[in-house]
Structure 1
Amino acid sequence: MAAVEAPANVPKTSSEGYEKKCIFCRIVNKEMGTELIHCDEDISCFQDIKPGAPHHYLVVPTKHVGNCKSLGKEHVPLVKQMVATGKEILQKKNITDLTDIRLGFHWPPFCSVTHLHLHVLAPASQMSFMSRLFYRLNSYWFITADQLIELLNSKEESN
């Protein structure tokens, strides 16, 4: 029997980095009507639906990657690329003070979506009281991008 090719508008399979039940995979694949601020082969970005600061973006791998706990040392370049993309987007949005930003990840089980996503918030000085708690530095539920990179660099390579 000959193989039948799927139409172009059919979503990718999970083997290609797409999880059909993942809201972020659906956003990246333009199934949700969410505006993508940035989208390339590796990284995508869109606004958070519950902003914790005047500028609050989510930077995600374009292909499905699990949460922070599922990462290994080999993911350090991806996390660094996510950070660089987040900073570029802020600069395009005329955020020039990159010392007044917060970049980080919610630590499982405190993340509502298991698709890896970097929170990019600016200016951090304008975050509400609740947002300061939710994205609190040195908490057990939120880890900065630098802390995650340090943690991943301390791990052994996955085989």
Structure 2
Amino acid sequence: MAADTEHQDSAFDSKCVFCRIASSEESGAEMLHVDDDLVCFRDIRPGAPHHYLVVPKTHVGNCKTLSKDHVQLLKNMVSVGKSVLQKNNVSDLEDIRLGFHWPPFCSIAHLHLHVLAPASQLGFLSRMIYRINSYWFITADQLIERLQANTSTS
């Protein structure tokens, strides 16, 4: 695999709902952010007053399929998530939760960042589903650190 395929595991999967949403083939999702690489929309089952998903336009697998080549993509996803929160009047960026479900606890096998705020207002079930240091959820920072630690000198 060449290094220039950083964002593309496979460009588009017609069976993937997030691929269809990102390419505007699936209606119903209100786009809160769209750029060349990423889209952001509301989660259909919100776990907090603000619950958004940041999704790559190209089909990227789940967290376990990522490598150090994906670190910049993850950082861009975090940046978009924080930006969308700020545009939606979330001013306390310390009271947020940004992360990913860890396989096999992924409902959709297309990389998607959960952006939740305020984290202090997560309900009981959401506190479990998006729990830090659990077997089923990893924060964006933890995933980036893990990928960077698994690198050899570049």
State the TM-score, normalized to the length of structure 2. Answer: 0.90
Match of 1:111 in 2: 106
Choose which of 68, 91, 115 in structure 1 pairs with 2:63: 68
Residue identity (%): 64
Contact 2:61 2:110 in 1 (8 A): yes
Provide the rounded CA distance (Å) in 1 between the counterparts of 2:109 and 2:96: 23
Contact 1:43 1:60 in 2 (8 A): yes
2:19 counterpart of 1:25: yes
Match of 2:127 in 1: 132
Deviation (angstroms), 1:62? 1.1
Provide the rounded CA distance (Å) in 1 between the counterparts of 2:145 and 2:13: 28
Match of 1:6 in 2: none
RMSD (CA atoms): 1.4
Partner SS for 2:39:
strand
Instruction: Give the letter for the 1:53 counterpart.
Output: A
1:1-159 aligned within 5 A: 17-33=11-27, 34-156=29-151
Deviation (angstroms), 1:156? 3.1
Provide the rounded CA distance (Å) in 1 between the counterparts of 2:96 and 2:142: 15
Size of the aligned set, in residue pairs, is: 144
Contact 2:9 2:60 in 1 (8 A): no
State the TM-score, normalized to the length of structure 1. Answer: 0.87
Match of 2:3 in 1: none
Partner SS for 1:37:
strand
Gaps of 5+ in 2: 1-7
Provide the rounded CA distance (Å) in 1 between the counterparts of 2:9 and 2:72: 21
Q: Runs in 1 of length 4+ with deviation above 3 angstroms?
A: none
Instruction: Give the letter for the 1:18 counterpart.
Output: F
**Mean Cα deviation higher: 37-46 or 94-103:** 37-46
